[in-house]
Amino acid sequence: MLLHVHNHSRTTPNKPAYKMVPDGETVTFSELESRSNQCAHLLRACGLKRGDVIAILLENHPRYFEIALGAERSGIYFTGISTHLSAKEAGYIVGDSDARVLFASMKTLPAAREIVAENPDLTVFIVDGTNAHFRDYLAERAEQSTSPIPDGSMGAPMLYSSGTTGRPKGVKFELPEIPIDAMDSLTELAVTRFGFNSQMVYLSPAPLYHAAPLRWSLSVMKLGGTVIVMDKFDAEYALQLIEQERVTHSQWVPTHFIRMLKLPEGDRSRYDLSSHELAFHAAAPCPVPVKEQMISWWGPMIHEYYAGTEFNGMTIITPEEWLQHKGSVGQAKFGTAHILSDDGKELPARKEGMIFFEGGNRFSYHKDAEKTASSYNSRGWSTLGDIGWLDEDGYLYLTDRKSFMIISGGVNIYPQEIEDVIVTHPEVADVAVIGAPDPDLGERLVAVIQPLDMSDAGERLSQDIQEHVLSHLGRLKLPRQIDYMAELPRLPTGKLYKRVLRDAYWKEEKIA
């Protein structure tokens, strides 16, 4: 099996490695090979060596992959930064990661100006224009050789956690001591579990700064397939692209499913999805009714996995398995899953506790030895802080993150279960359930609702939602307070920026 852009540039030089939509810019394997080599030479010219770090502050941009591959083939860590962060938040990641070079675009130029003011030794390239204060990437790239650098070696992503519950941390792995065209563990899983191959067309509807879209896309191109990159997710346009580009594989998050399901029936049924062989999803638990509707619509082609940026373990479930174990995220296929109590004892089937993985990749949090140590137990098993349980057949079920737990009246309540019920209400587009300060209960349940139509927000909808909750759950899990927002602070990766919501309620309490 031929692997890596380097080999595909010789065997299929004119084949599209990726296409940006809707603007249509297409880059062939030959072009990607030349440009990533030029980027590698440019990084060496900047004085970067194996083990150094670059930061990428770009929207889903045509230059993203060549920069990531340029770093990867140079033995350099590359850190993608969300364009939805403030300049201060992005600057924290640049500084914390020890990045020596920052790649920005004209869209992210204002943030780059603020970042460099706090990091004066930082080299900044603008990838799609000129600026008097920063270097012109395209002009300098053009001066470099298109041949591989003589001292090439494998680099790696050093991506930051989303920071949904606190400041983000860089997830760092030891640089692999393998040739750049060797099979890696993630690509091997993609081949064996999801049928990735050289003929595939992969739709990526999410931001490339996030671990899953970037890593899966790189695996597709490593195998010789083509990636279709959406500039941003749009529910109907995603369906149109499956038809238009003859997409065979795709990756989603539950929020994407919810938004596609809430399209008018005519919009959902008008597109030819017959080329679509396999879809998979992750990032957050998918409400059972949502996945049932998706399988009914697309057929038994929707796979699911559970893993983190840390890639310390991975579970996978096929659609056929899911229909027999509804709500599960599958059996461990990378590492071994364990459920432990707060005192570290292994729990039996169907007992809820902290999820640990034995084996898998060993990771650390950059410049945070304490957080790294707290993620491992005495046996060397690691956790991401998620709560769940295993059934008798070893299928894992997620409950929620421990950090999202609400303690109301002395009872532990995980909001995910409540959110999964509320989001199935026909007038709800999105929901977050959080704990707000309460003088009697300690915390009270608050549901923050994003309605499909903001004009529906009010007492009538609140009562309907509460009745909907009570038809599925007990009164203990009923949010007594329902508030409304035009749009929840959800990251484009599908993760809810719950800390922002929760902090607003607790700050109000401090002010009072």
Residues of the chain with pLDDT > 70: what percent? 96
pTM: 0.84
Question: In angstroms, how far is the first alpha carbon of the chain from the final one?
Answer: 65
- DSSP track, 372-416: HHHTB-TTS-B--SEEEEE-TT--EEEEEEGGG-EEETTEEE-HH
Give the DSSP letter of residue 427: T
pLDDT at 441: 77
Contacts of residue 462, Cβ cutoff 8 Å, sequence gap at least 6? 482
- DSSP track, 259-284: HHHTS-HHHHHSS--TT--EEEE-SS
Whether the Cβ atoms of residue 72 and residue 17 lie closer than 8 Å to each other: no
Strand 156-157 and strand 171-172: the pairing is: unpaired
User: Is residue 285 predicted with pLDDT exceeding 90?
Assistant: no
Opening angle at CA 275, ends 269 and 277, nearest 5: 105
List pLDDT tens digits, range 80-127. Answer: 998 988 898 899 999 999 999 999 999 999 999 999 999 999 999 999
List pLDDT tens digits, range 427-442. Answer: 999 999 999 988 777 7
Residue-level length of the chain: 512
Whether the Cβ atoms of residue 495 and residue 459 lie closer than 8 Å to each other: no
List pLDDT tens digits, range 22-81. Answer: 999 999 999 999 999 999 999 999 999 999 999 999 999 999 999 999 999 999 999 999
User: Is residue 207 predicted with pLDDT exceeding 70?
Assistant: yes
Taking residues 362-388, report their average pLDDT: 93
List pLDDT tens digits, range 224-255. Answer: 999 999 999 999 999 999 999 999 999 998 88
User: Is residue 510 predicted with pLDDT exceeding 50?
Assistant: no
Q: Alpha-carbon distance 188 to 192, whole Å?
A: 6
Which domains, from first to last, does the chain contain?
A: 8-159 (3.40.50.12780), 328-403 (2.30.38.10), 405-511 (3.30.300.30)
List pLDDT tens digits, range 341-360. Answer: 989 999 999 999 999 999 98
Say whether 231 sits in a helix, a strand or coil.
Answer: coil
List pLDDT tens digits, range 302-329. Answer: 999 999 889 999 999 999 999 999 999 9
Task: Look up residue 206 and give its amino acid.
Answer: A
User: Is residue 259 predicted with pLDDT exceeding 60?
Assistant: yes
pLDDT at 416: 84
The closest alpha carbon to 466, from 449, 491, 486, 443, belongs to: 449
